[in-house]
């Protein structure tokens, strides 16, 4: 009888330890870079193709990475994007550009050719969440350095024409932009970082969309981005 009681007591202690361990392990919080942009009223673009984005390996993970001015990183295991950051950025750009332009992304939809399409390749040299800076006037911010290439695919136009009198629209546009988005220092560190990251993505959507519309309208690209 004594050994049976001891066995039950041991079993209860083991179960209790497992329950306490499970309760003591916090679950990660997940965040998405959902874009919120105002659609253009008269967009000439109907079809786009947003390729997977480029991103430095040090950032391309699901865990959120916060940095300071000296390059030290704090990887937050309990604060994560819903997918790797490169996938988050690609999905946000695709969704945002479709909203902004009223276009369909054939990369995600599986649509084939037949219409004029604009292929968009985006590369982020930086998408850094800077939590601490040495410049008090600058404050915490999201530092973005991004470049992109827009290529027009028009099945109605020949690839090369020898007739110099026939104007051929530009088929490729290369742009780049660098900017900082302030982080709300009054917000909780993760909420502030996520909010600023979403604002930064919205801004990238706006400037990329403007360059696509410029190409579609056969107009020079204007705005803060440097394009050629």
pLDDT of residue 18: 53
Pick from 116, 143, 146: nearest CA to 215? 116
Q: How far apart are CA 193 and CA 142, in angstroms?
A: 8
Q: Which stretch of DSSP H or E encloses residue 82? A: none
pLDDT tier at 1, thresholds 50, 70, 90 = very low
Pick from 136, 134, 132, 125: nearest CA to 67? 132
Name 161's Cβ contacts closer than 8 Å, sequence gap at least 6: 168
Contact 211, 102 (CB under 8 A): no
Q: Bridge-partner residues for 152, per DSSP?
A: 118
* DSSP state for residue 171 in the 8-state scheme: -
Helices (H), 26-181: 85-101, 106-109
**What is the token pair recorded at 53?**
């984005």
Across the chain, mean pLDDT equals 86
Domain boundaries, the chain: 43-227
User: What number is the average pLDDT over the span 123-145?
Assistant: 88
Render 18-58 in DSSP notation, one character per residue: HHHHHHHSPPPEEE------PPPSS----EEEEPPPB--TT
Could you give the percent of the chain with pLDDT greater than 70? Answer: 79
pLDDT of residue 158: 59
pLDDT tens-digit readout, 101-118:
999 999 876 666 668 999
- Highest mean pLDDT: which of 66-70, 72-76, 110-114, 148-152? 148-152
Q: How far apart are CA 121 and CA 98, in angstroms?
A: 15
Integer distance in angstroms from the first to the last C-alpha of the chain? 87
**What is the token pair recorded at 78?**
């309990």
pLDDT tier at 193, thresholds 50, 70, 90 = very high
pLDDT of residue 191: 95
CATH number for the domain whose boundaries are 43-227: 3.40.50.10610
**Residue 72: is its pLDDT beyond 90?**
no
Q: How far apart are CA 103 and CA 97, in angstroms?
A: 7
**Residue 48: is its pLDDT beyond 60?**
yes
**What is the token pair recorded at 138?**
């600058």
Contact 61, 87 (CB under 8 A): no
């Amino acid at each position: 009888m004594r050994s049976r009681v001891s066995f039950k007591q041991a079993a209860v202690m083991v179960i209790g330890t497992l329950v306490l361990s499970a309760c003591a392990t916090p679950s990660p919080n997940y965040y998405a870079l959902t874009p919120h942009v105002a659609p253009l009223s008269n967009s000439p673009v109907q079809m786009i193709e947003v390729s997977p984005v480029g991103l430095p390996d040090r950032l391309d993970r699901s865990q959120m990475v916060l940095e300071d001015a000296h390059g030290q990183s704090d990887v937050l295991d309990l604060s994560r994007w819903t997918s790797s950051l490169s996938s988050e950025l690609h999905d946000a750009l695709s969704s945002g550009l479709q909203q902004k332009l009223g276009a369909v992304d054939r990369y995600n939809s599986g649509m084939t050719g037949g219409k004029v399409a604009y292929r968009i390749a985006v590369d982020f040299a930086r998408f850094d969440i800077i939590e601490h800076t040495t410049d008090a006037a600058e404050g915490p911010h999201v530092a973005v350095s991004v470049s992109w290439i827009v290529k027009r695919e028009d099945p109605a136009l020949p690839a090369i024409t020898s007739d110099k009198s026939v104007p051929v629209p530009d088929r490729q546009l290369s742009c780049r932009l660098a900017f900082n988005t302030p982080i709300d220092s009054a917000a909780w560190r993760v909420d502030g970082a996520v909010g600023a990251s979403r604002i930064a993505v919205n801004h990238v959507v706006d400037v990329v969309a403007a360059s696509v519309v410029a190409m579609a309208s056969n107009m020079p690209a204007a705005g803060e981005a440097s394009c050629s």
